[in-house]
Amino acid sequence: NAGVTQTPKFQVLKTGQSMTLQCAQDMNHNSMYWYRQDPGMGLRLIYYSASEGTTDKGEVPNGYNVSRLNKREFSLRLESAAPSQTSVYFCASQSQGFSYEQYFGPGTRLTVT
């Protein structure tokens, strides 16, 4: 039981390049989330998927797209990377049952030069 996994762990991009961050969970959770973490700003929600087949914008969606590929996988795509997207990205998942907490992956550290 790996929990929430993310790939890659580190990535350096040049401005304008694209990439996809991958996230998978093996806990049969319905909801999945993408956050970015910046110093002094806590975690900000980029996109979320309350259930398979649905996605919605969070607080800071500009410059990103997501795909809920199936119940396990939720990917985040940067179509044209900008230096302002330099951040640490976390994926999380949550059951819709009584356990209300979210479970987080180890993060992807992205630098855009």
Phi/psi at 36 (nearest 5 deg)? -120, 145
CA distances in angstroms from 12 to 16, 18, 36, 67, 108, listed in the order given: 12, 11, 16, 22, 11
- Least distance (Å) between residue 94 CB and other proteins: 6
> Which of the ranges 18-26, 60-68, 73-81, 98-106 carries the binding residues for other proteins, by CB under 8 A?
98-106
- Least distance (Å) between residue 80 CB and other proteins: 27
Structural tokens at position 99? 């356990």
- Is the Cβ of residue 51 or residue 80 nearer to other proteins in the bound state? 51
The residue with tokens 């390049």 is 17
Kindly write out the interface string for residues 55-94 of this chain, putting x where it contacts other proteins by CB under 8 A and - elsewhere.
Answer: -x-x-------------------------------x-x-x
